[in-house]
């Protein structure tokens, strides 16, 4: 009996410790707020992806252009396998008719890692049988790390504890209101470069050109688990009558000159085409429709300022409404490079 009490006491103490550390150190969740909006709002078109999608497609312009209410659940550093479960949770009421999935090749690489502390654990935010399935397919292979400690114990994060607590006790955050994204972005310090405009859209307002990116080379190969997740997304969309469209947000011109984005384009055009998925690469967007310079971007990674995001969104509308969408794109990477400033 005494041994049982000790074990029980240890379990209770462990659970309390996990709860306290998680509350103090786990960043406030943006996907929690965005998922609630996607489920509760009267939308039928869903934008998905990572940070380039988050600030590259304006749902208000797309709504006005195609006549369908559009919302974004794109969120920075989102693994592809999480996107599959986010889609299923957002569509719990079977209301979505179109999914626009932005492809950021950085997250498809063979060596892409998934770190804790980046809104990685969906366990608290998905419902029903999906939660057990997510545990089995995502949490279990990761050895429970994200389940118990979806944070990184660093001095920087310890210093952020007051901001983390303020964000989590914010009335809008507690009630899952869209305005809670302001508190989330203040914690992440993205509010210095972006303004949150609603429906998941971050508008770039200030340049941060000193922020670089990790220079890498695409090697025409991707993580097989990402292909598996894409096929799950496609199968789910087919089963539920959802049109799946893949896009790639236009990158900063200096990156197009130094990185092999032509190889990226060819790989995803062939890979997605083989699976019957439409793909529009806005790196290939003709200059008269999407003229841009490095000054149109917040940083060297390719996060857009608001004005070019609006133009890319209008171009996306034209592409979606056109009987001949290829008229808006160059035919080769040589043409792309020849027209760069």
pLDDT score recorded for residue 117: 54
pLDDT in tens, 156-202: 778 888 888 888 888 898 888 888 898 888 777 666 789 999 999 99
pLDDT score recorded for residue 302: 92
| 127 in any annotated domain | no
DSSP assignment of 178-222, as one string? TTHHHHHHHHHTGGGTEEEEETTEEEE-S--TT---------S--
pLDDT-derived band at 211, boundaries 50, 70, 90: low
pLDDT score recorded for residue 110: 61
Three-state SS annotation for 125-168? CCCCHHHHHHHHHHHCCCCCHHHHCCCCCCHHHHHCHHHHHHHH
- Phi and psi at 203, nearest 5°, equal -95, 120
| 206 in any annotated domain | yes
pLDDT at 149 over 80: no
Element (H, E) at 280: strand 278-281
| 294 in any annotated domain | yes
pLDDT in tens, 71-129: 999 998 888 889 999 999 999 999 999 999 999 998 887 655 555 556 778 888 899 99
| 16 in any annotated domain | no
The residue segments making up the domain with residue 334 are: 28-116+176-338
- Phi and psi at 66, nearest 5°, equal -105, -10
pLDDT score recorded for residue 241: 98
State how far the Cα of 164 lies from the Cα of 120, in Å rounded to an integer: 16
- Provide the domain count of the chain: 1
Beta carbons of 62 and 316 less than 8 angstroms apart: yes
pLDDT score recorded for residue 49: 96
Strand-pairing partners, residue 245, are 100, 278
| 139 in any annotated domain | no
pLDDT score recorded for residue 146: 57
> pTM for the whole thing?
0.92
Better pLDDT: 15 or 329: 329
49: domain CATH number? 3.40.50.1110
Beta carbons of 53 and 184 less than 8 angstroms apart: no
Please name the residue ranges forming H helices in the chain: 2-25, 30-40, 51-56, 59-66, 80-90, 129-134, 145-148, 155-159, 161-168, 171-174, 180-188, 224-239, 253-258, 261-273, 287-290, 306-321, 333-338
Percent pLDDT > 70 in the chain is: 91
| 136 in any annotated domain | no
pLDDT-derived band at 340, boundaries 50, 70, 90: confident
| 39 in any annotated domain | yes
In the three-class reduction of DSSP (H, G, I as helix; E, B as strand; rest coil), residue 328 is classed as helix
Closest among 49, 99, 100 to 75, alpha carbons compared: 49
The alpha carbon dihedral of 49, 110, 122, 164 has a sign of negative
Beta carbons of 28 and 168 less than 8 angstroms apart: yes
| 128 in any annotated domain | no
């Amino acid at each position: 009996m005494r041994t049982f009490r000790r074990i029980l006491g240890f379990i209770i103490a462990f659970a309390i410790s996990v709860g306290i550390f998680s509350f103090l150190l786990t960043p406030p969740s943006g996907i929690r707020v965005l998922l609630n909006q996607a489920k509760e709002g009267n939308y039928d078109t869903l934008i998905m992806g990572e940070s380039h999608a988050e600030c590259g497609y304006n749902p208000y312009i797309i709504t006005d252009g195609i006549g369908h209410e559009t919302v974004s659940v794109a969120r920075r550093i989102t693994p592809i396998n999480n996107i599959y479960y986010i889609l299923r949770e957002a569509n719990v009421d079977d209301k979505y008719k179109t999914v626009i999935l932005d492809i950021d090749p950085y997250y498809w690489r063979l060596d892409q890692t998934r770190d804790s502390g980046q809104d990685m654990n969906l366990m608290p935010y998905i419902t029903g049988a999906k939660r057990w399935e997510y545990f089995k397919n995502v949490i279990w292979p990761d050895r429970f790390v994200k389940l118990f400690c979806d944070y990184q114990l660093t001095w920087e994060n310890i210093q952020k504890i007051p901001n983390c607590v303020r964000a989590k006790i914010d009335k809008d955050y507690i009630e899952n209101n869209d305005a809670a994204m302001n508190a989330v972005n203040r914690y992440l310090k993205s509010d210095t470069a972006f303004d949150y405009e609603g429906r998941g859209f971050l508008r770039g307002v200030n340049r941060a050109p000193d922020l670089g990116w990790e220079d890498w080379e695409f090697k025409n190969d991707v993580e097989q688990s990402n292909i598996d997740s894409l096929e799950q997304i496609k199968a789910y969309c087919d089963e539920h009558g959802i049109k799946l469209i893949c896009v790639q947000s236009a990158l900063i011109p200096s990156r197009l000159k130094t990185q092999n984005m032509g190889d990226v384009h060819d790989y995803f055009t062939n890979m997605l085409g083989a699976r019957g998925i439409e793909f529009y690469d806005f790196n290939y967007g003709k200059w008269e429709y999407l003229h841009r310079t490095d000054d149109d971007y917040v940083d060297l990674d390719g996060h857009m300022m608001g004005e070019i995001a609006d133009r890319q969104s209008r171009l996306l509308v034209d592409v979606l409404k056109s009987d001949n969408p290829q008229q808006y794109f160059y035919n080769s990477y040589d043409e792309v490079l020849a027209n760069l400033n």
